[in-house]
Structure 1
Amino acid sequence: MDADENLPRRKDDPVGQLARQDLDPLSVEELEARIAALETEIVRTREKIKRAVNHRASADALFKK
């Protein structure tokens, strides 16, 4: 179980706000731009995860010696 699971979710959670946003008023171009921005954010987030995992592995290796 992740320690963060016990924390209350923020009311201004950006992902929650994003999911609740009404897409009906957006044009096709705006929707495509939104998808491109989200895909860019996914790449950025995956890179952050990779750095965090590598950092953790390095720290674990250092302290196991």
Structure 2
Amino acid sequence: MEVTIRALTPADIPAYRDIRLESLRLHPDCFGANYEEQRQQPTMHFDAQHCQPKPATHYVGGV
């Protein structure tokens, strides 16, 4: 099995959002965020939060 690790791009946001919301719903005790609050955020919120470079924060996905 080959695994590729790369920075998320805006095209990844819908899938990332779905995975994150499912994780929040199924395992709320593992996160500081709230499922309902995150569910109400527009997709644009995830794009701005996860795909804009920040000096000390990186979000990666594996495929």
Under a length normalisation based on structure 2, what TM-score does the superposition of the two structures give?
A: 0.27
Q: Which has the higher strand share?
A: 2
Q: Which has the higher helix share?
A: 1
Larger relative contact order (CA 8 Å, sep ≥ 6): 2
Under a length normalisation based on structure 1, what TM-score does the superposition of the two structures give?
A: 0.26
